[in-house]
Amino acid sequence: GAGVSQSPSNKVTEKGKDVELRCDPISGHTALYWYRQRLGQGLEFLIYFQGNSAPDKSGLPSDRFSAERTGESVSTLTIQRTQQEDSAVYLCASSLGGTFSEQYFGPGTRLTVT
């Protein structure tokens, strides 16, 4: 079946603007993750959704970042009042859930804040 998809693939925005990134997980996957990857850096955990549980927002770097997930489907990551340091690739992953379940990643959205 289809993998994890993300849109847009690239986004260029001006500093101070809001952006919304979308993730469509694999159907049936209860867990969904958002990560940020700056150039030359490792993946940085942002937020985790698991079923109907309260999301783990512990990785969000500031209150300008927020994410929502509709049931066990689409998720959107919103960055308000973007700053240049927000420039990065934003990766979404989904999994069946559980300690050993494999995460399947989307291709990412490359965000450039000018």
Partner 1 sequence: KNQVEQSPQSLIILEGKNCTLQCNYTVSPFSNLRWYKQDTGRGPVSLTIMTFSENTKSNGRYTATLDADTKQSSLHITASQLSDSASYICVVRDNAGNNRKLIWGLGTSLAVNP
Which of 45, 53, 61, 73 binds partner 1 (CB under 8 A)? It is 45
Neighbours of 101 (CB within 10 A): 13
Query: DSSP label at 110?
Result: E
In sequence order, which residues have a C-beta less than 8 Å from that of residue 107 and are 6 or more positions away? 5, 6, 9
- Would residue 75 be called left, alpha or beta, if left means φ above 0 and alpha means ψ between -120 and 50 degrees? beta
**Nearest approach, Cβ of residue 73 and partner 1 (Å):** 19
- Asked if 31 is part of the footprint of partner 1 (rule: CB under 8 A), the reply reads no
| Of 7 and 80, CB closest to partner 1 | 7
Which of 11, 22, 26, 43 binds partner 1 (CB under 8 A)? It is 43
Q: Which residues bind partner 1 (CB under 8 A)?
A: 4, 41-45, 58, 91, 93, 99-100, 102-108
